[in-house]
Amino acid sequence: MPLIRHTYPTPLGDMTALLSERGLCLLEFERGTRGLAHEREQVEAARGGPPRADAGALTGRLGDELAEYFAGRRRSFDIPLDFVGTPFQIAVWRALLEIPYGETRSYAQVARQIGRPSAIRAVAAATGRNKISVIVPCHRVIGSDGSLTGYGGGLARKRRLLTLERPGLPPG
């Protein structure tokens, strides 16, 4: 199966997905996202791109899961994932998947979780290279002092995602 590209409207802007025969490789906001072109090229190179626009069972399933999430009816995703990254990055992304809905972790906590407590900056860099936004919840990673730190889709989106998951979160 060739790489498939599909676009989904969300309350925070359109998202582009790239799916391989194994699962979702990329899901990013189209506007206001750093590095989307580079991430897309990396996935295409690794999975035999360029992608073709298409729809099917997997694209429909992803659309349903995203709609349920943004409506507040889904706390976790079932769509299969096909990570494209280094072994270290993939270890970090798998750790992010373990952060419960409505909770946050610091980069230091994630570094300890993967058994690399001194690799805080490397964890932050790997988190920033996450290609599967929302589903691999990099928005749930914050600074050790509780501050919102970088997010490829912008801090305003990060705050909105966190507020969706934890409505009592203070604004700003």
The residue annotated as part of the active site, out of 138, 141, 162, 164, is: 138
DSSP state of 140: G
The encoded tokens of residue 5 equal 């590209």
Residues 118-144, buried b or exposed e (16+ Cβ, 10 A)?
ebbebbbebbbbbbbbbbbbbbbbbee
Q: Is 138 a catalytic residue?
A: yes
User: What is the spatial distance between Cα 39 and Cα 17, in angstroms, rounded to a whole number?
Assistant: 11
Q: Which of 75, 61, 88 is nearest to 134 (CA)?
A: 75
- How big is the chain by its Cα radius of gyration, in Å? 15
User: How far separated are the first and last CA of the chain, in Å rounded?
Assistant: 44
The encoded tokens of residue 55 equal 């729809």
Catalytically active residues, by annotation: 138
